[in-house]
Amino acid sequence: MSAGAYNPQAMAHSSSIAQITSRVDRLLLRHEELRRTNELLNAQVAALTAERDLLRSKHSAARARIDALLDRLHATSPAEAPRHEAD
């Protein structure tokens, strides 16, 4: 066979390598996309976790204020409460 002759095995091998190379390239691109998406999702989780913690803290503080107000109301005896006279 001459160097320029048609060689089906070499062509098939070359085609297989090209397919594998193409698939690896696509997988590498997909991996990079998924890695970036994962970073963004992790940042969102961190932000939402911080927001949740802040809201929990605000809820706890509000609850404490309400409890304190309720305690003050319950501590006020009926004699100390202002009377409303009927006209």
Is residue 3 assigned to a domain?
A: no
Residue 51 inside a domain? The answer is yes
Domains in the chain, number: 1
Indicate the pTM of the whole model.
0.60
| pLDDT tens-place string over residues 48-80 | 999 999 999 999 999 999 999 999 999 986 655
Question: Is residue 57 one of the residues assigned to a domain?
Answer: yes
As a whole number of angstroms, the longest Cα–Cα distance in the chain is 123
Answer yes or no: is 12 within a domain: no
Residue 22 lies in a domain: yes
SS3 5: coil
Q: pLDDT by residue (tens digit) across 14-56?
A: 899 999 999 999 999 999 999 999 999 999 999 999 999 999 9
Q: Is position 10 within any domain?
A: no
Structural domain boundaries enclosing 37: 17-75
How does DSSP classify residue 7? -
Indicate the DSSP class of residue 87. Answer: -
Cα Rg, the chain, nearest whole Å: 37
Give the separation between CA 53 and CA 58, rounded to whole angstroms: 9
